[in-house]
């Protein structure tokens, strides 16, 4: 099970930073880290998904059970497709997001999707805007379905309690905001499930990684 509990204090910030920088560089090395239950071992994911100091916020690390949840962790996979490198492809049924690379490869991320099929975005869009620690404003439709959201119609500032998490990529269609987002989450246990109001959510560590890789204008295809 993946929870939002922080890793052992024995995992240093230097280890965390080195693991994240290695991933951003396109390669994964195996630093010393801590596995589920506090057992010490060598696994790159122990630092990649460890705590992250991000501006004024300290993002908790994920308590990873690597034996049962490894498929939820980002990795490079074979993905032959007609899409150009740099394109984001989301497969709703798989609950996976793919960032296309060269040579029929892709970076794969686990995602949470709409709790109902009708809530999911389908089709093509582009990233029209990017935001770090975004402000959240529920749509009128969200408030209608979830009346408790009415308390936030004026917006919730970004932060560790904000449901959009650490980053947001705003999907635009025809030059207009679709009100669908690819964003982080404060509920890491929902990744890999159908739970959202239609947006596509990732672990905060993963949305930061994806955010750093894609510019405004990136094409997005949701299947």
pLDDT, tens digit (0-9, with 9 covering 90-100), for 139-186: 888 888 888 888 778 889 999 999 999 999 999 999 999 999 999 999
Q: Are 182 and 219 in contact (CB under 8 A)?
A: no
- Domains of the chain by residue range: 13-68, 75-222
223 residues of the chain, pLDDT tens digit each: 444 433 333 333 333 333 333 333 333 322 333 333 444 455 777 788 989 999 999 999 987 665 567 889 999 999 999 999 999 999 999 999 999 999 999 999 999 998 888 788 999 999 999 999 999 988 888 888 888 888 778 889 999 999 999 999 999 999 999 999 999 999 999 999 998 888 999 999 999 999 999 999 999 999 9
Concerning whether 199 is annotated as a catalytic residue, the answer is: yes
Distance CA 12, CA 16 (A): 6
Q: Are 153 and 144 in contact (CB under 8 A)?
A: no
Maximal C-alpha separation, the chain: 51
Right CATH for 75-222 from 3.40.30.10, 2.40.440.10, 1.10.10.920, 3.30.750.24: 2.40.440.10
Query: What 3 state SS string does the chain have?
Result: CCECCCCCCCCCHHHHHHHHHHHHCCCCCCCEEECHHHCEEECCHHHHCCCEEECCEEECCCECCHHHHHHHCCEEEECCCCCCCCCEEEECCCCEEEEECCCCEEEEEECEEECCHHHCCCEEEEEEEEEECCCECCCHHHHHHCHHHHHHCCCECCCCCCCCCCEEEEEEECCEEEEEEEECCCCHHHCCCEEECCCEECCHHHHHHHHHHCCCCCEEEEC
Answer whether 0.85 is exceeded by the pTM: no
Concerning whether 17 is annotated as a catalytic residue, the answer is: no
Q: Are 219 and 108 in contact (CB under 8 A)?
A: no
């Amino acid at each position: 099970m993946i929870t939002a509990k922080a890793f052992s204090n024995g995992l240093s910030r230097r280890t965390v930073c080195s693991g994240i920088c290695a991933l951003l560089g396109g390669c994964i090395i195996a630093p010393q880290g801590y596995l589920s239950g506090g057992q010490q071992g060598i696994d790159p994911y122990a630092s990649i998904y460890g705590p992250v100091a991000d501006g004024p916020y300290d993002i908790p690390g994920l308590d990873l059970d690597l034996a049962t949840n490894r498929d939820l962790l980002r990795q490079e996979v074979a993905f032959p497709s007609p899409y150009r490198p740099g394109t984001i492809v989301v497969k709703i049924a798989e609950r996976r997001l793919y960032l296309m690379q060269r040579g029929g490869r892709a970076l794969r991320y686990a995602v949470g999707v709409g709790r109902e099929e009708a809530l999911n975005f389908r089709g093509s869009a582009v990233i029209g805007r990017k935001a770090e620690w975004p402000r959240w404003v529920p749509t009128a439709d969200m408030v209608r379905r979830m009346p408790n959201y009415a308390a936030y119609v004026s917006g919730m500032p970004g932060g560790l309690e904000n449901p959009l998490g650490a980053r947001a990529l705003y999907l635009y269609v025809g030059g207009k905001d679709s009100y669908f987002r690819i964003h982080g989450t404060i509920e890491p246990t929902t990744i890999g499930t159908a739970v959202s109001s239609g947006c596509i959510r990732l672990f905060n560590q993963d949305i930061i990684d994806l955010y750093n890789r894609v510019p405004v204008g990136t094409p997005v295809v949701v299947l």
